[in-house]
Amino acid sequence: MSQLYLVGMGPGDSELVSPKAIKAINNCSDLVAYGLYLDLLGEVCKGKTHHDLPLGEEIGRARRALELAASGKTTALISSGDIGIYAMATLVYELLDQQISGSAKDDHPEWLDVEIEVIPGISAMQAGAARAGAMLGHDFCTISLSDLLTPWETIEKRIHSAGAGDFVLSFYNPVSKKRDWQLNTARDILLQYRPAETPVLIGRQLTREDENITIITLAELDAKDVDMFTLVMVGNSESRLIEYENKNAQKQQWAYTPRGYKKKLV
Amino acid sequence: MSQLYLVGMGPGDSELVSPKAIKAINNCSDLVAYGLYLDLLGEVCKGKTHHDLPLGEEIGRARRALELAASGKTTALISSGDIGIYAMATLVYELLDQQISGSAKDDHPEWLDVEIEVIPGISAMQAGAARAGAMLGHDFCTISLSDLLTPWETIEKRIHSAGAGDFVLSFYNPVSKKRDWQLNTARDILLQYRPAETPVLIGRQLTREDENITIITLAELDAKDVDMFTLVMVGNSESRLIEYENKNAQKQQWAYTPRGYKKKLV
């Protein structure tokens, strides 16, 4: 039996890793993942053969995972968040698709005998929404701002659609070292559709030791305050920020999106 | 100390309930949830006081949870999926917002002293995508087809936006006993934007004992094959269905959305 698990380990907090993910990793002899992820997962990864590849070698990782599994080694390909959301799972299926359609650069019919199980995980948008309240309480969408594989024209059109549809909007890959202007352009587009004071959640290193969460307004959003470890979530036109003090004089702050539009009939 | 946990228990499979959710429930004396959810959670709910309310009494549930916590009982309000996504978390914040703004029908200043922690869970779209491949591999959105709290005009506009933006689209609340025409209307709108052969995932009772998953085309989508326990997910214009046989002559079928648009520059 030739088994490959595609495992989402969640945002970082080990208490948000599902028992199903832990069980799958336990079954494996080989793990394909960034070293940081194995550090976050801890004990369960001990004694497994670890395969790391440089950042950016995503296709190499997916190939390695299929090769290992096809060779009879029970293998897990691990990513943070949900491996099905902007992550490695889809690359594995793209490689299989190329094998079937004959468009692959080399033939690996043995990959088609690998049993695949995908184990979902908590994605960054969910961790961010939960830590700050309930911003995903109504219709939402996600857009990756990386134009490495998607033309900017497509991304821009999508931001307009998100604005026109008044979706709560989570940006994945908001900036990178070489990419810094897209987020501000996205902000300017959204300002055509929703108020300047729309709440925006900035969540850095969510659920990890150096987590930092701030809630700002759409007008205040600036790429200089965001890095590649940050989730940016923009509320819809009805999203609200609430602030109050409890009896111990502690300031409470929550951002949420109401479940309906009852009060604002179109 | 007055503590309320808002807990997402995931789609149903107990192995997809996070350790953080289990720990929170363990801390509680009182649980507010549908009976079915407690059955799915099993052992951890034993010995807790259980508060159930009739279906449709969502505001009643949120109020009960705040009342219990404010009275000093450590309480969990539990929903399936992610409690922050089309679920109970946002109702709790709406109730707090009414207290602060003075628009509540009765004053409960003690609710503002409740410590709240939201624990996210795996949502139905993630469970469905994982069981069938990787349909959420690129930009996606979710739309609830329930027009109880959102006017149909708003929903319809949003379906057009999802179509124009070529988002993978998950429908929550696709039909109910009294609501059956919206899904077919949504299908007809999407057919204006994407091919009739676009893959559509129909996932019923995901990860539960009587799970049933089929992949059809957008043209074949029909509300009569869908009930309120079903997730409907429509691919974008690049989503693909792959089918092959492994060496044991077992048919494999996967639906996925490629991570980029490289081959199809606009």
* Confidence (pLDDT) at B53: 85
**A252 part of contact set with chain B, CB < 8 Å:** yes
CA–chain centroid gap for A250, Å, is 31
Cα–Cα dist A241/B141, whole Å: 23
**A77 part of contact set with chain B, CB < 8 Å:** no
Write the DSSP symbol of residue B113: G
Nearest to A152 by CA among B265, B238, B167: B265
Q: Computed from CA positions of residues B165, B171, B173, B177, in that sequence, does the dihedral angle turn out positive or negative?
A: positive
Q: Which string of DSSP letters, residue by residue, matches A159-183?
A: HHHHHHTT-EEEEES--BTTB-SHH
Strands A168-172 and A212-217: unpaired
Min Cα–Cα distance to chain A from B162, Å: 7
Across the interface, of A137, A160, A260, the residue whose CB is closest to B89 is A137
pLDDT over 90, % of chain A: 85
Contact residues, chain B, for A113 at CB < 8 Å: 246-248
- The total of other beta-carbon atoms located within 10 Å of residue B156's CB is 17
Across the interface, of A133, A153, A257, the residue whose CB is closest to B266 is A153
* Confidence (pLDDT) at B261: 67
Nearest to A38 by CA among A9, A60, A63: A9
SS3 B217: strand
Across the interface, of A17, A113, A261, the residue whose CB is closest to B247 is A113
Domain parsing of chain B, residue ranges: 3-122, 125-256
Q: Computed from CA positions of residues A24, A124, B83, A84, in that sequence, does the dihedral angle turn out positive or negative?
A: negative
Average pLDDT over residues B171-195: 95
**B19 part of contact set with chain A, CB < 8 Å:** yes
Cα–Cα dist A238/A193, whole Å: 12
**A50 part of contact set with chain B, CB < 8 Å:** no
* Confidence (pLDDT) at A47: 93
- The total of other beta-carbon atoms located within 10 Å of residue B52's CB is 16
Give yes or no for residue A163 having a pLDDT over 60. yes
pLDDT band at A56 (very low <50, low <70, confident <90, very high): confident
pLDDT tens for each residue of B240-254 = 999 999 988 999 999
SS3 B247: coil
Helix/strand/coil (H/E/C) assignment for every residue in A54-86? CCCCHHHHHHHHHHHHHCCCCEEEEECECCCCC
pLDDT tens for each residue of B219-245 = 999 999 999 999 999 999 999 999 999
- If one compares B52 and A192, the residue with the highest pLDDT of the two is A192
- Please check whether the domain covering A125-256 is classified as CATH 3.30.950.10: yes
Mutation choice for B interface testing from A58, A59, A114, A126 by most B CBs within 10 A: A126
* Confidence (pLDDT) at A260: 78
**B242 part of contact set with chain A, CB < 8 Å:** yes
Give yes or no for residue B72 having a pLDDT over 60. yes
For domain B3-122, the CATH architecture is 3-Layer(aba) Sandwich (3.40)
Min Cα–Cα distance to chain B from A49, Å: 25
Q: Do the beta carbons of residue B124 and residue B203 sit within 8 Å? A: yes
Q: Do the beta carbons of residue B24 and residue B76 sit within 8 Å? A: yes
Length of chain B: 266
Write the DSSP symbol of residue B95: H
Write the DSSP symbol of residue A253: E
* Confidence (pLDDT) at A53: 85
Mutation choice for B interface testing from A5, A14, A17, A18 by most B CBs within 10 A: A18
SS3 B243: strand
Q: Do the beta carbons of residue A117 and residue A75 sit within 8 Å? A: no
Min Cα–Cα distance to chain B from A262, Å: 5
**B236 part of contact set with chain A, CB < 8 Å:** no
Give yes or no for residue B183 having a pLDDT over 90. yes
Count CA atoms within 13 Å of residue B25 on its CB side: 27
pLDDT band at B262 (very low <50, low <70, confident <90, very high): low
Give me the interface pTM, i.e. the ipTM: 0.96
Give yes or no for residue A263 having a pLDDT over 70. no
Give yes or no for residue A265 having a pLDDT over 50. no
* Confidence (pLDDT) at B56: 76
SS3 B140: strand
Average pLDDT over residues B9-28: 97
Are B122 and A120 an interchain contact pair (Cβ–Cβ within 8 Å)?
Answer: yes
Across the interface, of A85, A144, A161, the residue whose CB is closest to B165 is A161
State the burial class of residue A122 (Cβ atoms within 10 Å of its Cβ: 0-12, 13-18, 19+): buried
Nearest CA in chain A to B143: A139
Mean pLDDT of chain B: 94
Nearest to B126 by CA among A2, A56, A115, A18: A18
Is it true that B3-122 and B125-256 share their CATH fold? no
* Confidence (pLDDT) at A261: 67
Give yes or no for residue A28 having a pLDDT over 70. yes
Q: Do the beta carbons of residue B254 and residue A118 sit within 8 Å? A: no
**B196 part of contact set with chain A, CB < 8 Å:** no
pLDDT tens for each residue of A97-124 = 999 998 898 999 999 999 999 999 999 9
pLDDT over 90, % of chain B: 85
Nearest CA in chain A to B121: A122
Across the interface, of B90, B162, B164, the residue whose CB is closest to A258 is B90
Mean pLDDT of chain A: 94
Average pLDDT over residues A240-256: 94
Give yes or no for residue A193 having a pLDDT over 90. yes
